[in-house]
Amino acid sequence: MGAIIIKADTKSNKILFELAKKLGANVLSLRDEQFEDFALGTLMDSIKTGENVSRDEVMKKLKSQ
């Protein structure tokens, strides 16, 4: 099963929410913070390199900033 995310103004969200429910879809409402977390996670997944970095290397980079 797939999913779509529609980000719209409050009035449009309410109309779309009700329409989806009437069509028998499972509908979830996300707060802006939850949507941002989802978008960030998606971005992070898309740029994964599969490489591991040691804690020491991370700490060196953080200290040099």
Is the full-model pTM beyond 0.75?
A: no
Name the domain count of the chain: 1
Decide: 8 and 16 in contact? Cβ < 8 Å: yes
Please report whether residue 63 resides in a domain: no
The Cβ of residue 17 has, within 10 Å, a number of other Cβ atoms equal to 15
Please report whether residue 20 resides in a domain: yes
Distance CA 6, CA 46 (A): 20
Half-sphere exposure of 58 (CA within 13 A, CB side): 4
Q: Which residue range is the domain that position 25 belongs to? A: 1-48
pLDDT-derived band at 28, boundaries 50, 70, 90: confident
Please report whether residue 55 resides in a domain: no
pLDDT-derived band at 42, boundaries 50, 70, 90: very high
Decide: 22 and 52 in contact? Cβ < 8 Å: no
Distance CA 60, CA 11 (A): 49
pLDDT-derived band at 63, boundaries 50, 70, 90: very high
